[in-house]
């Protein structure tokens, strides 16, 4: 990432968005950095009043931004702070949107708090976690989120949305693909007994040497998740292009049971549907780990991650994603959907 002056409160300035995204793509834009909730509201309100398009950016780890950049105002979220609201058998935390997510996880695990340990190693900021109901290893934001403080750009006021209001689903919520709400902070309820939430994910249980449903010390759960994630290139590393991605590029498709190809995994999903594995489909459609070219390729450790090997443009990455999506559709008639938000570009 760049050394550009993006200090909170810094005046609007021209930046290259590639310096602010983990995929390292994105052209020029005007950026304002907001260091408090009030600054965030002011920046968004000012832009809305003048009819300027707004792009909110946190850690830039779930974004693919066009090489042409963004024609409008980019508001970079940098409002930090955590407040303990209740401290008993459960600990309730109010966390500002600009707090780095994994630092929060590390801190709560150190304090023996349980609920987000399986979400270790995910980049980005706290305010983005409700956007796609961030999830991994059998846990998701919705498990611990009590409410979200938002600025409602339509009603022009601050509101508290309960978890039920957020419409959480698999990598989705009312916030994703919508522009109405600016997330100012989240309220999380964590348990204080030092034991992890029941381990739900089979691979994690195997790594920990326990049965699914068992509970382990929270620090053990975090260590095992980080170990698994590193082995898949899913922990950002500035020295390793295998991690220069937006995480999983495609969501796991939710389809009718009869649409699942023979041999592909199928897990129960709501409404009689099943969730199958995007990674399985991609691999079996002929796109193995490392597929691509010297600029844009699948991670050599993880089929689902499209990586910038250095020097890739957004066009390069989008072309690779399109090729894979079309190849999977051609073989299995299942259309993969991108998980990151595409800004100024489309598959
Ligand atoms: C190596 C790697 C591994 C990953 N692993 C996972 C994983 O296991 N599970 C998972 O779910 N995701 C994963 N991700 C994706 C990503 O890290 C998460 O989605 C993360 O929550 C994005 O946070 P961010 O701050 O970087 O958001 P950004 O990429 O900056 O923004 C994402 C979207 O949210 C919007 N947004 C951001 N902040 C706000 C706000 N305060 N209010 C309103 N809108 C906002 C943005 O406008 C944009 O549309 C991974 C990414 C990488 C690079």
Task: State which of 78, 119, 131 you would mutate to test the pocket of ligand 1, scoring each by most atoms of that ligand within 8 A of its C-beta.
Answer: 131
Q: Whose CA is nearest to atom 36 of ligand 1?
A: 128
Within a domain: residue 89? Answer: yes
Asked which of 231, 253, 271 is the last residue of a domain, the reply is 231
Instruction: Identify the domain containing residue 337 by its residue range.
Output: 241-343
Quote the number of domains for the chain.
3
Q: What is the CATH number of the domain that holds 214?
A: 3.30.465.10
For residue 49, give every residue at least 6 positions away whose Cβ sits within 8 Å of its Cβ, in sequence order, or none: none
Q: How far apart are CA 21 and CA 340, in angstroms?
A: 11
On whether both 142 and 201 belong to a single domain, the answer is yes
Q: Are residues 151 and 268 in the same domain?
A: no
Give me the phi and psi of 211, to 5 degrees please: -85, 150
Which two three-digit tokens encode residue 217? 């010390």
**What is the tens place of the pLDDT at every residue in 29-83?**
999 999 999 999 999 999 999 999 999 999 999 999 999 999 999 999 999 999 9
Q: What is the pLDDT of residues 193-244, one digit of tens each?
A: 999 999 999 999 999 999 999 999 999 999 999 999 999 999 999 999 999 9
Asked if the model's pLDDT at residue 10 lies above 60, the reply is no
Residue 70 pLDDT: 97
Q: Which residues of 255-276 are buried (b: 16+ CB within 10 A; e: fewer)?
A: beeebbeeebeeeebeeeebbb
Residue 300 annotated as catalytic: no
Q: What's the CA-to-centroid distance between 124 and ligand 1, angstroms?
A: 5
Distances (CA, A) of 339 to 20, 62, 99, 133, 310: 18, 8, 22, 12, 22
Report pLDDT digits (tens) over 262-309: 999 999 998 999 999 999 999 999 999 999 999 999 999 999 999 999
Indicate which residue of 24, 171, 189, 325 is catalytic: 171
Q: Is 63 in the pocket of ligand 1 (CB under 6 A)?
A: yes
Please give the structure tokens belonging to residue 99. 């707090």
Half-sphere exposure of 110 (CA within 13 A, CB side): 6
Determine whether 248 is an active site residue: yes
In whole angstroms, what is the distance from residue 308 CA to residue 157 CA?
40
Q: The domain spanning residue 73 has which CATH number?
A: 3.30.43.10
Residue 88: pLDDT band by 50, 70, 90 thresholds? confident
Note whether 103 and 151 are same-domain residues.
Answer: yes
Active site (annotated) includes residue 339: yes
């Amino acid at each position: 990432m760049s050394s550009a002056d993006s200090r909170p409160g810094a005046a609007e300035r021209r930046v290259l968005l590639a310096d602010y995204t983990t995929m390292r793509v994105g052209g020029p834009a005007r950026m304002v950095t907001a260091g408090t909730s009030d600054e965030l509201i002011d920046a968004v309100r000012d832009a809305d009043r003048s009819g300027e398009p707004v792009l909110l950016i946190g850690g830039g780890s779930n974004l693919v931004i066009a090489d042409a950049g963004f024609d409008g105002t980019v508001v970079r979220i940098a409002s930090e702070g955590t407040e303990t609201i209740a401290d008993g058998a459960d600990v309730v935390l109010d966390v500002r949107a600009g707090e780095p997510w994994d630092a929060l996880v590390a801190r709560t695990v150190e304090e023996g708090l349980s609920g987000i340990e399986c979400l270790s190693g995910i980049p980005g900021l706290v305010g983005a976690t409700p956007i796609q109901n961030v999830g991994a290893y059998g846990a998701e934001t919705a498990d611990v989120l009590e409410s979200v403080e938002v600025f409602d750009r339509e009603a022009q006021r601050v509101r508290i949305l309960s978890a039920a209001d957020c419409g959480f689903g698999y990598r989705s919520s009312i916030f994703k693909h919508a522009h109405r709400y600016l997330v100012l902070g989240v309220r999380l309820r964590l348990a204080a007994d030092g034991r992890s939430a029941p381990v739900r994910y089979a691979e994690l249980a195997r790594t920990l040497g326990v049965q699914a449903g068992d509970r382990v010390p929270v620090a053990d759960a975090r260590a095992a998740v980080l170990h698994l994630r590193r082995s898949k290139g899913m922990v950002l590393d500035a020295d390793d292009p295998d991690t220069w991605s937006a995480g999983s590029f495609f969501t796991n498709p939710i389809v009718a049971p009869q649409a699942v190809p023979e041999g592909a995994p199928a897990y129960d999903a709501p409404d009689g549907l099943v969730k199958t594995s995007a990674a399985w489909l991609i691999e079996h459609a002929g796109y193995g780990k490392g597929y691509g070219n010297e600029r844009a390729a699948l991670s050599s450790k993880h089929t689902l991650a499209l990586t910038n090997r250095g020097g890739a443009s957004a066009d390069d990455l989008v072309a690779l994603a399109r090729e894979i999506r079309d190849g999977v559709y051609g073989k299995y008639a299942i259309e993969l959907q991108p998980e990151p938000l595409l800004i100024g570009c489309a598959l």
